[in-house]
Each structure stands twice: as C-alpha cells, then as structure tokens.
Amino acid sequence: MADTATNVEKKTEGGESRRDFLLLATSAVGAAGVAGAVWPFVDSMNPAADVLALSTTEVDISQIEEGQSITVVWRGKPVFVRYRTAEEIEQAKQDDTAKLIDVQKDEDRVQKTEWLILIGICTHLGCVPLGQKPSDPRGEFGGWFCPCHGSHYDTSGRIRKGPAPRNLDVPPYAFLDDEHVLIG
C-alpha cells in the first residue's frame, strides 16, 4: 500500500520469530475459545431435560384384562401393550414355521409370552395399524391391520401380507414387577 507509513515495515529479525510464536499460540488459544463457545449452542439443540424425562414411560398393566390391548405414548409414538390369550399365543408359536416375510420366532419378540409389547407404527410408511379396540379389524391373521396400504400383522406383530417390509418393532422394555413395565 502506498498510502500508509513505511517506517512500520522495519522489523528486527529476533522480534519477528518471537512474534510468530506468540501469534501462533494466541491463535490456538483463541480458536479453542471459539470452539468452546460453540458447544453450548449446539448442545441447546439436543433434547432438553423435560424431553429426556419423558424418554421412558412406566406402564401399569394390572388393569388390563386377558385379550385386551392398551396404547401408551412413548417418545411421542404409540406403543401397543397386548395381554394375549392362550389361543393367540398358540397361534403365534405355530406360525413360527409358516412362510414369513421377516423371519423371527415369537419367543424372540416377547419377554413374557402373555405380554406382547410393540411400537404401533406400520413399518411400511408410518401409519398406526388398527386392532387395538375390540371393534377394530385385525386383518387376516388376527393381529393388526394397517388401513393405509393393507398390511396384515399376526398375533406376534409379524408382517404376513401387504407392502410392509418388517415386523412391528419391539421397543426396549423391562418388567419392574408383575404390574409395571418400563418402556425405554
């Protein structure tokens, strides 16, 4: 630049290298500071404490009669809890050897044979299948029927007919005692 002072360009050689080191060190510390300042912003987009508090759902199953189902909400999604009858369990076990789209044994899908717990979202395009209420259609296999594109699920929640690619998902859960299940 022609229009600034020229006398400032004169630098002693020793000063130059000391300045370079200082510049490098300061830049490194400054960059660390910026990185540290970014984290609170990023972390603020993670689930907040009140959202995390709802990441598990405790369900009281003492009021459910044999053959009945209830729907609970877990992480904003419907979860089906069905107290299966002896016939339904029998049917599910028999079908282990049937022609399955997504092969899985019934015993791998339940912790206690009478309790079937599933995420109630059709694995096709995310509709909620029917079959929870006694008056609902349950499809050709006595489990659930998705009205959107006609997927039929059996009494183990396995896909048997229709466009859905996978069985209904089983959420992580644990029996706290005989009357309470913790989902999540």
Expressed in percent and rounded to 5, the helix, strand and coil fractions of the chain are 30, 25, 50
Q: Is 108 in the site for another protein (CB under 8 A)?
A: no
Q: Is 2 in the site for another protein (CB under 8 A)?
A: yes
x-or-dash string of contact with another protein, 66-105, rule CB under 8 A: ----xxxx--x-x---------------------------
User: What element of type H or E holds 173?
Assistant: strand 173-175
Other Cβ atoms within 10 Å of 75 Cβ, number: 15
Q: Give residue 154's Cα distance to chain centre.
A: 23
149 is catalytic: yes
Q: Is 14 in the site for another protein (CB under 8 A)?
A: no
Other Cβ atoms within 10 Å of 111 Cβ, number: 13
Residue with tokens 């300061």: 26
Among 17, 29, 35, 177, binds another protein (CB under 8 A): 29
Q: Is 8 in the site for another protein (CB under 8 A)?
A: yes
Contact footprint for another protein (CB under 8 A): 1-8, 10-11, 15, 18-19, 22-23, 25-26, 29-30, 33, 36, 39-41, 43-46, 48-51, 53-54, 58, 70-73, 76, 78
